[in-house]
Homo-oligomer: A and B are copies of this chain.
Amino acid sequence: MSDGLRTGAMRGDSLLFLTDEQLRQGIEAMFFAYRGFTADPDRILSDMAYGRAHHRALHFISRAPGTTVNNLLNILGVTKQSLNRVLRTLISDGLVESRVGRADKRERHLFLTDDGRQLEQTLSDAQRARMRAAYRDAGPEAVSGFRTVLEAMMDPEMRRAYTRLKESGQ
């Protein structure tokens, strides 16, 4: 790696980072890192009757309280049948509340209950702890590059969803 390159440097030596070998290393890095990324919440959830799908639902409901089922569907990229199975258990277990829409009564708006918030917090804390350690080790410039590449890797539609969430957040 190393490489100063960049500005006047995109010729000759450069583009080395686009070799098949470099790309393959990136692919493997994504694979191994994603395993770490999900490991901690998975461990916590394995003791309960929940799985990764429940975590994802809790995360995005927490992030966008009042979101509709349809919106959540699009963000998660699963079918309504699949999401419904997850939501049903979360609602009946009292972690998520579903309120009929005021403007459009067909819609259901989703909120976390106190219990839901608490579980989400537990999972989130575990995942953030790993993220924080990685960020700290890598430093701010690496983090910036990390986010840039991830964003470039998304499907355009998901990039829009991501950007929307990001802007609503801060």
Contacts and interface: CB of A to CB of B under 8 A. Distances in A.
A142 B132 contact: no
A59 to B, nearest CB: 8
13 contacts: A16-B140, A17-B143, A18-B132, A23-B135, A24-B169, A26-B131, A27-B59, A28-B162, A28-B166, A30-B150, A33-B150, A35-B158, A146-B146
A14 B142 CA distance: 13
Interface residues of A, number: 71
Given A34-B30, A135-B23, A17 B149 contact: no
A162 B63 contact: no
B151 A18 contact: no
A68 interface: no
Interface string A1-16: 1110110011000101
- What number of copies of this chain does the assembly contain? 2
User: Mostly helix, strand, loop or mixed at chain A's interface?
Assistant: helix
B63 A32 contact: no
A32 B152 contact: no
B152 A149 contact: no
Interface in A70-124: 77, 124
From A5, A29, A158, A170, residue with most partner B Cβ within 10 Å: A29
Given A3-B140, A143-B149, A135 B26 contact: yes
A39 B157 CA distance: 13
